[in-house]
Amino acid sequence: MTEYLADENVPVVQLAVGKHFVSLTPRQQRYAHHLARASWHGARVVAAQLSHESPAICRMLVDAVTGPNGACRDLTKLRDCSGVSAGEFQWFLEYAVCTLSNLGPYKSFGDTKFVPRLPIASFEKVVAASGSGAARDAFARLKSVIYSLDPEPIRRIGFPADGHVSGFYSSDVSRSDVEAVQTLLDASGISALNTRLFRAGPNAFDLRIASAETRPDQTLTGNSISVRVQYGDFAKEMADIVSEMQQAVEFAGNDNERLMCECYVKSFRSGSIDDHKQSQVHWIRDVGPPVETNIGFIETYRDPAGVRAEWEGFVAVVNADMTAKFAVLVENAQRFLAMMPWPRAFEKDVFHRPDFTSLEVLSFATGGLPAGINIPNYDDIRQTVGFKNVSLGNVLNASSPSEKVFFLSEADKALFQTHRGAAFEIQVGLHELLGHGSGKLLTEDPIGTFNFDRAMVNPIDGRPVRTWYKPGETWGSVFKGLSSSYEECRAETVAMHLMSNRDVLGIFGHGGRDGDDVSYVGFLSMAKAGLSALEFYDPASAKWGQAHMQARWAIFRVFLEAGLAELKHLEKEADLLLTVHRDRIATHGAPAVASFLSKLQVYKATADAVGGTQFYTSATAVDPCWLPIRDVVLSKKQPRKVFVQCNTFLHADGSVTLKEYEPTLQGVLQSVVERRCL
The per-residue DSSP string of 636-673 comes to T--PPPEEEPPEEEE-TTS-EEEE---SSHHHHHHHHH
Maximum Cα interatomic distance, the chain, rounded to a whole number of Å: 77
Distance CA 648, CA 664 (A): 19
**Is 52 among the annotated ligand-binding positions?**
no
Which backbone phi and psi does 593 adopt, to 5 degrees?
A: -65, -45
Does 432 participate in catalysis according to the annotation? yes
Consecutive H or E run containing 229: strand 225-233
Whether the CB-CB separation of 441 and 604 falls below 8 Å is answered with: yes
Local structure of 22: helix, strand or coil: coil
Catalytic choice (432, 487, 492, 535): 432
Sequence-ordered list of residues with C-beta below 8 angstroms from that of 329, at least 6 positions apart, any chain: 356, 429, 433, 504, 507
20 marked ligand binding residue: no
Strands 218-222 and 225-233: antiparallel
Q: How far apart are CA 202 and CA 225, in angstroms?
A: 9
Alpha helices, DSSP H only, in 468-589? 475-479, 483-498, 502-507, 512-532, 547-562
Other beta carbons less than 10 A from residue 626's beta carbon: 19
Sign of CA dihedral 361, 364, 368, 374: negative
Report how far residue 520's alpha carbon sits from residue 421's, in angstroms, rounded to the nearest whole number.
13
Q: Which residues contact 454 (CB under 8 A, 6 or more apart)?
A: 464, 465
- Count other Cβ atoms within 10 Å, centred on residue 660: 17
Residues 6+ apart with CB under 8 A from 615: 599, 600, 603
Contacting residues for 474 by C-beta, under 8 A, at least 6 apart: 379
CA dist., res. 244 & res. 217, Å (int): 27
Buried-exposed string 412-430: b where 16+ CB fall within 10 A, e elsewhere: beebbeebbebbbbbbbbb
- Known catalytic residues are 432
Positions at the binding site = 431, 436, 488
Positions at the binding site for Zn(2+) = 431, 436, 488
